């Protein structure tokens, strides 16, 4: 058995913890069976956003007539596009691996691992034990129990980002952020996209006004079927046949040359046999941790998608910093999850922070609401694209309860609200009294707060 001061399982945000351990002089083992850099770099946010930017360029060209500019797309080199993005991602991942090996201060295990005892894992032919263990092994696509699905060559987001041939007809099962982002990517580049969502709107976790508006806008470009449940999937001479049922029990038959399953994520705890390491999980398989990210097992911490919560890269990075404080530096710091923003890079873009209006209603909390439209600002009018910002504020003390944005650059506009909520007074006046460049697009955020009812 090989013993180490620190064993880190997962080389995404877990890399931060491993580096901190090395800097502290610890003997560190890093376990990663796939490419280093984790989901975000290799099969998530980085390649998807690189490809989505290309979709945005294509959409801009298609919309140019709105600005009296006549332009056309002569061709799209889809295979070259995919190859370029994946080559860049692979190069970055390889550089991480080379630097780790060159350093000579890590023990890198590039095989699958599973727990066999407390802080002890079987890694290939090796048995590895850590005085301290950090689990950052992420999650994978959730595959629903649809009859016949296992018999077709379906896609998850992982395979979709590596497709060499653009689908002529793409059927997407699911209506969350992966469906919204990849639907935009393939649709903007010419695929006919059909989205099948069992709920009554897309992006159901977003503020209801935002998700309703997004669903309406997305439906103008693609065939969006809400309140629809997929029953069976099969291969036919016409392509992949999807049989679904709508809310009225009407049966639908939809065909596509590719089917993308985008129905959520499941943690990799089952692959790791974490229970054998004394680690407890919830009913959905996510690792249970306390406020300091400690698991039920002694000297064992967990972070990132494998613990559930907000499954976002910036949240995993935040959690990594707290694991460093609690496990490496050995200070006692519960994680501060206050004011975590998120964004969906589709078209239109979506971002949000804090409570949604429906959450405030369910909780019986009083709130003031301010809504302002993009087209009512100087720059928003110039862009000729709709959208709005929505501010939710406590009537008692002016504290910002939430903010939600739909429209161009929403992922950027949300940040001033994040700074106000996390590092400012957290009140609406932080936004209202700040001087905003005129006529910059961020005036839509300021005006949403100024227009509070």
CA distances for 39 relative to 92, 106, 158, 262, angstroms: 13, 21, 9, 15
Spell out a b/e string for 285-313, using b for 16 or more CB atoms within 10 Å of the CB, else e: ebbebeebbbbbbeebbbbbbbbbeebbb
Catalytic residue list contains 4: no
Closest CA to 266 of 282, 290, 242: 282
Q: Which of 4, 342, 404, 438 is catalytic?
A: 438
The catalytic residue positions are 438
């Amino acid at each position: 058995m090989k013993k180490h001061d620190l064993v880190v399982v997962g080389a995404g945000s877990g890399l931060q913890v491993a580096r901190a351990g090395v800097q502290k002089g610890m003997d560190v083992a890093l376990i990663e069976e796939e490419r280093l850099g984790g989901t975000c770099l290799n099969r998530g946010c980085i390649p998807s956003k690189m490809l989505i930017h290309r979709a945005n360029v294509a959409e801009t060209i298609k919309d140019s007539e709105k600005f009296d500019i006549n332009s056309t797309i002569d061709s799209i080199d889809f295979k070259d596009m995919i190859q370029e993005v994946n080559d860049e991602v692979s190069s970055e991942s390889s550089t991480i691996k080379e630097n780790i090996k060159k350093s000579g201060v890590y023990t890198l295990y590039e095989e699958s691992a599973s727990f066999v005892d407390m802080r002890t894992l079987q890694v290939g032919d090796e048995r590895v034990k850590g005085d301290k263990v950090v689990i950052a092994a992420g999650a994978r696509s959730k595959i629903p129990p649809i009859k016949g699905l296992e018999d077709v060559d379906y896609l998850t987001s992982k395979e979709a980002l590596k497709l060499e041939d653009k689908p002529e007809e793409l059927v997407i099962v699911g209506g969350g952020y992966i469906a919204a982002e990849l639907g935009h990517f393939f649709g903007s580049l010419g695929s006919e996209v059909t989205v099948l969502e069992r709920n009554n709107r897309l992006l159901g976790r977003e503020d209801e006004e935002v998700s309703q508006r997004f669903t309406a806008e997305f439906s103008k470009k693609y065939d969006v079927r809400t309140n629809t449940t997929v029953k069976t999937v099969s291969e036919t001479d016409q392509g992949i046949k999807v049989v679904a049922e709508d809310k009225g029990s009407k049966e639908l038959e939809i065909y596509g040359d590719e089917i993308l399953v985008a129905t959520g994520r499941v943690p990799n705890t089952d692959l790791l046999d974490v229970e054998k390491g004394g680690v407890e999980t919830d009913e959905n398989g996510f690792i249970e941790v306390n406020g300091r990210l400690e698991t039920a097992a002694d000297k064992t911490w967990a972070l990132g998608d494998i613990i559930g919560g907000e499954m976002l890269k910036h949240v995993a990075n935040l959690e990594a910093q707290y694991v460093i404080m609690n496990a490496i530096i050995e200070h006692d710091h519960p994680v501060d999850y206050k004011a975590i923003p998120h964004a969906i890079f589709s078209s239109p873009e979506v971002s949000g922070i804090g409570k949604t209006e429906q959450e405030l209603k369910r909780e019986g909390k009083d709130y003031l609401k301010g809504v302002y439209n993009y087209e009512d600002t100087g720059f928003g009018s110039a862009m000729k694209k709709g959208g709005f910002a929505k501010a939710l504020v406590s009537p008692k003390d002016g504290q910002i309860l939430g903010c939600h944005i739909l429209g161009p650059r929403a992922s950027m506009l949300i940040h001033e609200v994040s700074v106000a909520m996390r590092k400012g007074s957290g009140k609406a006046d932080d936004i209202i009294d700040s001087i905003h460049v005129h006529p910059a697009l961020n005036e839509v955020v300021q005006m949403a707060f100024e227009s509070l009812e």
